Amino acid sequence: MIIVTEVTKEFGTRTLFDNVSVKFAPGNRYGLTGPNGSGKSTFMKILTGEVEPSNSGTIQRPKHVGVLKQDQFAYDNERIIDTVIMGNETLWSAFTEKDVLCELPDLTPEQMERLGELESIIADENGYMAEFEAAEILRGIDIPEEDHENLMSTLATDFKFRVLLAQALFGGAEALLLDEPTNHLDLDTIHWLEEFLMQYEGTLIVISHDKHFLNSVCTHIADIDYDTVILYPGNYDDMVSNKMQSRQTIEAANKDKAKKIAQLQDFVARFQAGSRSSQVQSRKKEIERLAPQELKRSNIQRPYIKFEQTKPFGREVLKVKDLSKAFDDKKLFDKVTFDINRGDKVAIIGANGVGKTTLLRCLLGEIEPDNGSVKWGEAATWSYFPQDFHKEIKTGSTVIEWLMQFREDEDDQVIRGLLGRMLFSKDEVQKATENLSGGEEARLLMARIMMQKNPILILDEPTNHLDLEAVSALSQGLSDFPGTVFVVSHDRDLVSSVATRVLSFTHDGQFIDFQYPYEEYLQKYKFKDLAKAGKK
């Protein structure tokens, strides 16, 4: 169990949460939610002990807590499998000390006694199965056995993150604290993680912008809002429903109270100076009793995303024939052929590194394919949201100045209204572009795409820096868009909501053009690739 008692956290004049007391019970799986900037990661760091509260509040936590660390380069000089085992600090310390003692030429009686103690600790921590258990988790997150003895420095950054996730999951921790564990995971690996966590018996607290993941895994939601943390039973969708219902109930009650108070005040005003003083006093007390319940402003905000198409376009959007691309000795795809028509909403899925972004860049003409052809329809125009979008927004200007450079005939008021829909307030439109957060940059790029009104949208991992409300708004916007969409995403909810067609890169090197929605794709191919990869 993790117990939070009277914890407050402030940054300057801003209060993230005030005097929070909450208990996280064993056997429950909590999603920690709230919009960008609400303090989710800060609260998680308070739970782990990395950040201190602003007051004398306390945190009680179990002895063994699995924490998803965020520094992917901290273990570069360690073996991959050792990095995982380090997730159990007691066990790893015993292994390390034992190795030092065993290298000594002669042992004193005290050292012999200590060696026996270490053997007991290793046995208690199930240390003799450690490498087997660590290897099993590594296979689950798609790191093959032949790589387990390699150094962490040999891995790409996204796979280093996976090893850190394995480290947190290893060793039977009494509590797991996971901040964005689905980052850098493909859809198959997210399925594996969901199953792993649903079988976990300790206390789980997880932050994720993947609504489908939260709905699948969580038994409770801990929502940061109204300067506190509020627990709701059920998954994320249950929380949203309960939260809206509670607020509507209070608003309705306050409306009834206001009506009653107005009637009582009218009575008091009419008879204040008359002979009915006792009745007037009674009405005054009733007015005090009926004081409306204070309803703090919620920090949940949802952008309004609506993509329009004003430029005409024909039925045939794109023809790809026998497209092939390799880098060095690694073949990413070979003889890929497909046709795309107007209105198709295409999800491009597959494990990291299989060629999804490379395929998009070949389609866009940014990379020359080794073989094959890409032919767009006549007068094709598109808007592109790249995976590494930070380079798109140059420094040295304000938000509104940056967006205005892309306008055609829109006046200033239209630009300001568009920014307002994307949650940039009157003051925030003057914010310097170099000071924007990842989520703000993503929303600003979405505003540019909405202004361009192109018939084709091409988005590469657009949800990486968006909060849950923004992801929901993006899903709705793409679903309602009358044009053609290409989207690379590991967000199951986005893909399920939007995709009418799936282009899939499988684990065994196949390319599947599935011309039906993603949910039907799952019915046909569910866990097929997982089984081939030895994950299930």
Query: Does the pLDDT value for residue 120 go beyond 90?
Result: yes
Residue 398 banded pLDDT, cuts 50, 70, 90: very high
Alpha helices in 141-235 (DSSP H): 157-169, 187-198, 211-217
Query: Does the pLDDT value for residue 249 go beyond 70?
Result: no
Q: What backbone torsions phi and psi does residue 511 show, to the nearest 5 degrees?
A: -120, 125
Mean pLDDT of the chain: 87
Query: Does the pLDDT value for residue 297 go beyond 70?
Result: no
Please answer whether residues 30 and 221 qualify as being in contact, where contact means their C-beta atoms are separated by less than 8 angstroms.
Answer: yes
CATH of 2-239 given 3.40.50.970, 3.40.50.300, 3.20.20.370, 3.30.2130.30: 3.40.50.300
The better pLDDT of the pair 362, 301 is held by: 362
List all residues 6 or more positions away from 430 whose beta carbon is below 8 Å from its beta carbon: 398, 399, 400
449-470: string of b/e by CB count within 10 Å (b at 16+)? Answer: bbbbebbbbbbbbbbbbbbbbb
Query: Does the pLDDT value for residue 87 go beyond 60?
Result: yes
Quick: pLDDT tens for 352-377.
778 899 999 999 999 999 999 999 99
Residue 536 banded pLDDT, cuts 50, 70, 90: very low
* Token pair for 243: 């939260």
Q: What backbone torsions phi and psi does residue 42 show, to the nearest 5 degrees?
A: -65, -45
For domain 316-397+433-532, give the fold. Answer: Rossmann fold (3.40.50)
pTM: 0.76
List all residues 6 or more positions away from 361 whose beta carbon is below 8 Å from its beta carbon: 367
398-433: string of b/e by CB count within 10 Å (b at 16+)? Answer: ebbebbeeeeeeeeeeebbebbbbbbbeeebbebeb
Residue 262 banded pLDDT, cuts 50, 70, 90: confident
Please answer whether residues 209 and 22 qualify as being in contact, where contact means their C-beta atoms are separated by less than 8 angstroms.
Answer: no
Distance CA 536, CA 534 (A): 6
Query: Does the pLDDT value for residue 442 go beyond 70?
Result: yes
Residue 532's pLDDT is 39
Average pLDDT over residues 316-325: 93
Quick: pLDDT tens for 511-521.
899 999 988 98
